Amino acid sequence: MNSKFNADCSSQQTRGKSLPSVLFPFAGQKPGGSHISTFTLAKALREFYGIHSVVAAPAGTKVEAEALRFGLKVQPCLNVPLTSSPGLRELAFLPRRVAYLRTLGSNVVVHCNDVWNLRAWYAPSRLVGCPIVYHHRAFAKPTIANRVLIGGADKIISISDACCDDLRSIVKRDVVRITNPFDAISYFGGDELRQELLKQLPSSPKTTLIGFVANFQIRKRPEFFLDVAGSIAQLDSDARFVMFGSERDITVSDLRSRAAQHGIADRVIFPGFRSPPEANIAALDLLIAPAISEPFGRTLVEAVLVGTPYVATADAGHSEIYRRWRGGVLAPSEADYTSFALVCVDALRNPDNLRLTSEAKMQVMDEIDPRRHAAEVLEIYMQTAEN
């Protein structure tokens, strides 16, 4: 089914029905793939269906700034920054959240993209009578609390087969799998960024720019990336490295120390979080994605679309993307950094063999088109109104 047909079908199903407003709550302070996917959805709902949505995010955070970059309305006073034990602070927000939901009208869907926000918004949603859609974007532990919360949502969406498998250990419910949306309009700017990055690195006769594009979390394995970079540097004197991302479990200081241990401190730069992420990937000769237990992996799809080959860990969502669209190669999940580096060096020998043809890219873009995604999610919203 192509995007236009899918969207037309959704238009027929919603004709004569009252379209909902949508609230997307977020408690985190730093954006990641789930935020970009959600904001792309919200933008498509507005542009193609005229659906009003609001992002609830802590004021002054990068999440708020990213939502505003997408042209979305942000309500900053409804969520506190994420902590490991929100406790009574969340309870204190209950009256305010209930009151705000009532201002949105009688037809509101609360669309939660993680368990944290599902926990925070479950009670106010139920008190007001708003249906809850839970979007499973990250693996969760099969705790009693998660079983109750996720199982209590009116509809559940999963972003990948790996996430569907994860949900089976948590709830015995029907789950709708919908591929993340990607906005092709913003896939520009890589050449300019590349020149900016090269000015910050030692010159070489023919620089090979190799990058990491993810937040600095343990499961993303940024330190492993630097281990791989150290091995690549021994094999390729022209190799230079760039790490895009925000500090999470691991700090930039930690990573600089790791780079120094491998003798590549002067060949690695840390530009921080840069948006749009597609431009970061387009600036590279090779993307390395060493994450494990990745629910989906937006950066691999972005690499496919901008024509940057990738080497990723053969695990979870990465393997799924590779099977579906190719565009790079996989390294065994058990590979040590030396073996991983050899896969990277081999990929750089014939990068054109890894890039998709223009026709193949168009097919991928049709599958991940934001209008298609919005149509499928809107159908779920309408189903919650019928229940």
pLDDT tens digits for range 83-122: 545 566 777 788 989 999 999 988 999 999 999 899 989 9
> What are the structure tokens assigned to 288, written together?
């390395």
pLDDT on residue 14? 57
Pairing of strands 108-112, 53-56: unpaired
Question: What's the pLDDT tens digit per position in 364-374?
Answer: 999 999 999 99
Select from 3.10.129.10, 3.40.50.300, 3.30.565.10, 3.40.50.2000 the CATH code of 3-181+369-386.
Answer: 3.40.50.2000
Question: What's the pLDDT tens digit per position in 245-256?
Answer: 999 999 999 999
- Interval 55-70 mean pLDDT: 93
> What are the structure tokens assigned to 41, written together?
């959805």
C-alpha count within 13 angstroms, C-beta hemisphere, residue 15: 7
Is pLDDT of 181 > 80?
yes
Select from 3.40.50.2300, 3.30.750.24, 3.40.50.2000, 3.30.1220.10 the CATH code of 184-365.
Answer: 3.40.50.2000
Is pLDDT of 362 > 70?
yes
pLDDT on residue 187? 60
- Interval 247-272 mean pLDDT: 97
Confidence band for 5, pLDDT divided at 50, 70 and 90: very low
216 contacts: CB under 8 Å, gap ≥ 6 = 222, 243, 245, 246, 247, 248, 249, 250, 251, 252, 255
254-262 own/partner pairs: CB under 8 Å, 24+ apart: 254/223, 255/216, 255/222, 255/223, 255/226, 258/223, 258/226, 258/227, 259/226, 259/229, 259/230, 261/230, 262/226, 262/227, 262/229, 262/230, 262/233
235 contacts: CB under 8 Å, gap ≥ 6 = 341, 345
Question: What's the pLDDT tens digit per position in 19-46?
Answer: 899 999 998 888 989 999 999 999 999 9
